[in-house]
Structure 1
Amino acid sequence: MRWWDIDPVLELERDLFPEDAWSRGMFWSELAHARGPEATRRYVVAEVVPEDAPQEVPARDGGRIVGYAGLASAGDTADVQTIAVARDHWGTGLGARLLTELLRAATAFECAEVMLECRVDNVRAQKLYERFGFEPIGFRRGYYQPGNIDALVMRLTTLPDSGSAPGATSVQGTEIND
């Protein structure tokens, strides 16, 4: 994710999380920690590239952002900050591809565990995280506002070996970009 992705990401954020959407400033702040030798964040976007787009044209010149994800690291622990997938791409495996990219980043940051919070009523997300080996370890009461919805806290203590180089990964017409 780069600064020029913030506006389309905000549109998706507001659609998916209308009551507690992140602000432009929050994304700017996260991206400020995502570059350079002292980086502690990794944010990626997923774009659908039209089939008729020339191969030499970057996806951002003709694609539509359909997902994004972010991870923060501190010491040997990483925290999944956000994963979002456009409604018309639910069930396509995009959430799994985004999570895979975050786990690769956690490995690059040399994190021994990855933590996340998930709404207790978001069963679809919980199943995704469980497929990747995350286990529930507790609750945060009233974490999501408004609505006073509890968060399920989950942890992954063993990261899968990605076997791939960092950078962009293209799968079925969707490109994941940092």
Structure 2
Amino acid sequence: MSEVVLRPMTMADLPVVHRLERTLFPEDPWSEEMLRGELADQPRTRHYVVAEDSGGEIVGYAGLAAAGGQADVQTIAVRADRRGSGTGAALLTELLDEAVRRNSEAVFLEVRADNDPARRLYERFGFERVGIRRGYYQPSGTDAIVMCRKLRTRPPMGFNRESM
């Protein structure tokens, strides 16, 4: 596994991150304005990080939205030449840790139905398929698989006769 350092994403990172976004997701990249909007909500409801290699070059990034006990992975992206190096796992670990810090009960995400490596990563981390969004990714019309990982369950609430 190649070493990466994770740090909070800043507005200064947007040109590099957006260039990666366009390269990695050529059919449906987020605009720089969309990314800027996500960062504007950080840290209130968002948590975005970048992964840097030993030379300080950004090789991946990820973002989480979290509010009201639920978290959603907004994006995870790893430069093609760094896939399989553990960078995606490091980014996902950070997002899950942040969801726990924010007292989320579950984390949801959508993954392209044709992205088997990403789906396997999520399954390795305990995500389970809970639904499908037909034609979610545009303009290709590719389906999204909705996945969820429970982080904690609520304690029993209310009256319990057995405890009396």
Q: Same fold (TM over 0.5)?
A: yes
Higher relative contact order (CA closer than 8 Å, sequence separation 6+): 1
**Structure exhibiting the larger radius of gyration computed from Cα positions:** 2
Say yes or no: does 1:43 pair with 2:48: yes
Runs of 4+ in 1 over 4 A off after TM superposition: none
CA deviations 1:140-162 (Å, max 9, x no partner) are 00000111100000000126xxx
1:33 to 14, 38, 41: 41
Q: Look up the equivalent residue of 2:15 and give its one-letter code.
A: D
CA deviations 1:21-61 (Å, max 9, x no partner) are 011111111111113xxx110000001123xxxxxxxxxxx
Q: Which residue of 2 aligns with 1:5?
A: 13
Q: Look up the equivalent residue of 1:47 and give its one-letter code.
A: E
Instruction: Tell me the TM-score normalized by structure 2.
Output: 0.86
SS at match of 1:125: helix
Counterpart-to-counterpart distance in 2, 1:64 and 1:23: 21
Q: Which residue of 2 aligns with 1:136?
A: 129
2:92 to 96, 99, 107: 99
Q: Which residue of 2 aligns with 1:75?
A: 68
CA displacement at 1:108 relative to structure 2: 1.1
Q: Is the 8 A contact 2:132 2:144 kept in 1?
A: yes
Instruction: Tell me the TM-score normalized by structure 1.
Output: 0.79
Q: Is the 8 A contact 2:108 2:149 kept in 1?
A: yes
1:85 to 64, 72, 78: 78
Q: Which residue of 1 aligns with 2:113?
A: 120
Counterpart-to-counterpart distance in 2, 1:49 and 1:4: 19
SS at match of 2:114: coil
Name stretches of at least 5 consecutive residues in structure 2 with no aligned partner.
Answer: 1-8, 153-164
Counterpart-to-counterpart distance in 1, 2:66 and 2:151: 15
% identical aligned pairs: 57
Q: Look up the equivalent residue of 1:107 and give its one-letter code.
A: V
